[in-house]
Amino acid sequence: MADYYEILGVPRDASPEEIRRAYRELVQKYHPDKYYGKPEYKEMNEKFKKINEAYEVLSDPEKRRLYDQYGSAFEQAKASGGFTGFEGFRDWATYAEAMKDFFEEEDFGFSNLFSEFFGMGERTKTRARKGRDLYSELVIDFEEAIFGTEKEISLDKFSICPECKGSGIAKDSKFITCPICHGSGQVIQTKSTFFGQVRLTSTCPKCKGEGKIPEKRCLKCDGEGRIRERKTLKVKIPAGIDDGQTIVLTGQGEAGLKGGKAGNLYLRIRVRPHPEFKRKNYDILSEKEISISEAVLGSKVKVKTIDGEVILKIPPGTKSGQVFRIRGKGVPYLKKKGRGDHLLTVHIKIPKTLTKRQRELLEKLKEEGL
C-alpha cells in the first residue's frame, strides 16, 4: 500500500499547513465529479478515496503520530477493520457535511458540490453580514503625541444609503413575493450524478434566500442598501500615545449588509521624530553640553523640556555623560494619572582652541594639580 505521505506528495516532516495545502490541490485535481461519464472516472474515484484516507490520518495529530510510529502495522489495522479512512464519519452524508465546511473555509468554489449531492443547500434566509473592518494610518507631531490632539481623517468606504436607510427598496415601493421561489427562498431540481438521481436544493438566485424582493429597487444604491462615499471623521488622539500604537474606532468601518453591524476602523499612529527630544517608554530624553568650569564648579543651566524651559542645578564635580532626572516633565500615562520624567544627559564641552589667557589659567591649574 502506498505511503500516505507519498499519496499527498509531501515530506514526512511536512507542517499541518503544507498537508492541508497539498490536500486542497489534489482534491481540485482528482475530484471524481470532474470525470463523471468519462473512462477514467472509476480510477479517479479510487484515487480520490485514497487521498481522503491519507488526509484523514495525517491531518489528525494523534493518528499521524501512530502512523509515523507503527507504519505498516497501522495500515494492517486499517485493512482488518481497526481503522478506516473515514473514521469519525458515520456515513457519507456526515462526511460530506464536514467536507462542505472545509471547502467553504478554503473558498475553493466547491461548496455547492456537496450541497447538490446530499441536499445540503442553504435553507436559511440571507443572514445579516457585518461590514468590513478598515485600516488606515495617521501621522502626527511629537508634541501632539505627548499632549493629545484632535484630527480629521478622510476615507472612502461603504455607508448606509441615506435614501432607503439600508433596506434597498425605493421609497414609493414595497416588497413582493419572489416569482422564482414563490417565497420559499429555495429552488429545487433533480440532477444525475455519480451517486444516481439526487434532489438538489439551493438558495434562490433571485431573492438570495429572502423569499421576497423589492418591487422597485432604491435607485441611489441599486438595491444594495449601501453606497460608497468619502467620509470625514474627527478622531481624538489621547495624550501619551506612542508611535506604532493603534486606535480602534468601533463602528467606523464599512456599513454591514441586511442590518449587519458596521465594521471597525483601526487607525495606526505614526509619530514624526523631534529634532531635540527622543522618547523611551514614558520618559523624554535630551542632551546638553556644559563647560569645564560648570562641570567642576557647579552651575545653574537652562534646560528645554516639552513644557518649556526649566532651570537645572548642576552640582560641582559633574562627570561627562551624567544623567539628571527632571520629574514630571515626561509623557502622560495612557491608563493612569501622572507623567514620566525628562532625562537630561550632560556632556562636558572640550574646546578645540584656547585664547592665550585661557591657556595660562589652565597651565596654573595644572601646576596646582587640577
Residue type, 304: K
CATH number of 12's domain: 1.10.287.110
**Strand partners of residue 285:** 278, 343
pLDDT means per 10 residues, the chain with 370 residues, are 84 91 86 74 84 89 82 55 40 42 40 43 59 94 97 94 89 88 84 63 83 87 90 95 94 89 94 96 96 92 96 95 97 94 96 87 78
Same domain? For 318 and 185 the reply is no
Beta pairing class for 299-305 and 265-271: unpaired
Same domain? For 143 and 260 the reply is yes
φ and ψ of 75, to 5 deg: -70, -35
Residue with cell 432607503: 164
| Measured distance CA(49)–CA(194) in Å, rounded | 14
pLDDT the model gives residue 65: 85
Kindly provide the b/e burial profile for residues 307-317, where b requires at least 16 CB atoms within 10 angstroms of the residue's own CB. eeeeebebeee
Residue 108 belongs to a domain: no
Strands (E), the chain: 134-140, 149-160, 175-177, 186-193, 196-203, 212-214, 226-237, 246-249, 265-271, 278-280, 283-290, 299-305, 308-314, 323-326, 342-348
pLDDT the model gives residue 122: 44
Its domain, for residue 266, covers 124-171+222-273
pLDDT the model gives residue 123: 43
Nearest residue to 223 (alpha-carbon basis) of 201, 240, 206: 206
Same domain? For 319 and 232 the reply is no
Same domain? For 200 and 303 the reply is no
pLDDT the model gives residue 227: 92
Mark which of 62, 88, 114 sits at the end of a domain: 88
Same domain? For 234 and 292 the reply is no
Residue type, 70: Y
> What residues contact residue 7 under an 8 Å CB cut-off, 6+ apart?
50, 51, 53, 54
Same domain? For 137 and 266 the reply is yes
Same domain? For 140 and 263 the reply is yes
Instruction: For residue 262, give the C-alpha cell.
Output: 458596521
pLDDT the model gives residue 192: 64
| Measured distance CA(171)–CA(215) in Å, rounded | 11
H helix runs in the chain, sequence order: 4-8, 16-30, 41-58, 61-70, 72-79, 92-106, 111-118, 142-147, 292-297, 356-367
CA atoms within 13 A on the CB side of 7: 21
pLDDT the model gives residue 93: 40
Rounded to 10 degrees, the C-alpha dihedral 176/179/182/185 comes to: -80
Same domain? For 207 and 227 the reply is no
Residue 94 belongs to a domain: no
Same domain? For 230 and 190 the reply is no
Residue 331 belongs to a domain: yes
pLDDT the model gives residue 313: 96
Nearest residue to 88 (alpha-carbon basis) of 53, 48, 50: 53
**Residue 220 CB: number of other CB atoms within 10 A?**
13
Looking at the structure of the chain, the number of domains it has is 4
Same domain? For 247 and 160 the reply is yes
Q: Using the 8-state DSSP alphabet, how is residue 272 labeled?
A: P
| Measured distance CA(119)–CA(353) in Å, rounded | 94
